[in-house]
Amino acid sequence: MRRRSSTLLTRLAGVVAGTVLVAAAVLVGTAPAQAATLTQVTGFGSNPGNLAMYAYRPDGLPSGAPAVVLLHGCTQNANTYFTNSGWRKYADQWKFALIVPEQKSANNATACFNWFEPGDTRRGQGEALSIRQMVDHARTSYGTGRVFVSGLSAGGAMVSALLAAYPDVFTAGSVVAGVPYGCATSMVTAFTCMSPGVDKTPAQWGDLVRNAYSGYTGPRPRVAVWHGTSDYTVAVANATESRDQWTNVLGVSQTPTGTATLPGGTTLERYGADVVRVYRVSGMGHGTPVDPGSGADQCGTAGAYFLDTICSAYRDAVFFGLDGSGGGPTPTPTATASPTPSPTATPVCVTASNYAHVAAGRAYASLGYAYALGSNQRMGLYNTFNMTTLKQTAANHWVIGC
């Protein structure tokens, strides 16, 4: 069991006490017809980071189903985040597993994941390796396939570390109120990283990720970034720096290819062929966006650091392709998980309006025009009158004609 500096941890606790302060909830209450519960798992590996593992497997989970790793914020625990974030609703509905690591006070006095400790964020070390071992255990024991990751604050910063260190493990990730990978390398520099933030060029941020797994040439995860515009705990500038990091890593421009206005005063920016997303939630402070209700795109329980604005779990699940249109089992992660069917021996050809192509994820809209996803071929006006036939040539890649 590792020891931490109590003095620095006390200082960090004072800074991030408002980060994610929620009382521990009782073990998940379940509906009468739902027997599955969040369950602690032991013996999942050597566990060099000394983390606890919890898992949730919905009733009827098929072999090869995807899995999502959920990382809580400071002073939270696995059950708190599982209960309130809204992810359980979609795990039950779309049949994917949840892996929920939990920090221990022996590692960090405020239960923050140690996103600022190089020994916990490098490939093959510490907490990052413990989480990797949880994923491997789920694949072996539950038969899970593609793996995604999402987390809040310190958990969001750890998402950045996992995507950088293990691009061969995670298909996509969501950084909620977090920071870019490599922003801090100690608890002292963590303060500056959180606020006012650290300014680097896109190439400098990108090099930090590339150096996290030197020599890796395979596909990279897609990334969603969430941040409230009134977040005074983790400065809003971190959303832009995270955008710069991941657009550079994925080789796309820092200029959005499309924007949209969503519920809850949220602005969505898409980059490249929808490989990076940035959600800016107007007026929201520090926390995970939720939207309690029974609607298809509503989820979660509002409370301290679970903020009633928009259901981020729904948007991320769809972005990850877990809604049944692109979340099928694929043993090897790809960098561009798509909400479209995987190509087969016979090319998939679809004729529809340009508006329908965009809605289905085969194209994106920019400046009033529609463009084939992956190829950037201009299809014409973004409306219901223009009809276009698209052919899928690869995952997340469409061209005009068949």
Task: Give catalytic residues, as residue numbers.
Answer: 153
Q: Which long-range contacts (CB under 8 A, 24 or more apart) does 254-260 make?
A: 254/202, 257/364, 257/366, 257/371, 258/364, 258/365, 258/366
The Cβ of residue 42 has, within 10 Å, a number of other Cβ atoms equal to 7
What's the angle, vertex CA 91, arms to CA 260 and CA 37, rounded to 5?
A: 145
- Per-residue CA distances from 227 to 137, 147, 160, 191, 320 (Å): 32, 23, 14, 18, 18
Distance CA 397, CA 376 (A): 9
Distance CA 382, CA 370 (A): 5
For residue 308, the Cα-to-chain-centroid distance in whole angstroms is 19
The Cβ of residue 241 has, within 10 Å, a number of other Cβ atoms equal to 20
Residues 6+ apart with CB under 8 A from 308: 290, 291, 292, 302
Residue 394 pairs in a beta bridge with 397
Distance CA 300, CA 306 (A): 8
Would you list the DSSP string of 140-189?
A: HHH---SEEEEEETHHHHHHHHHHHH-TTT-SEEEEES---TTS-SSHHH
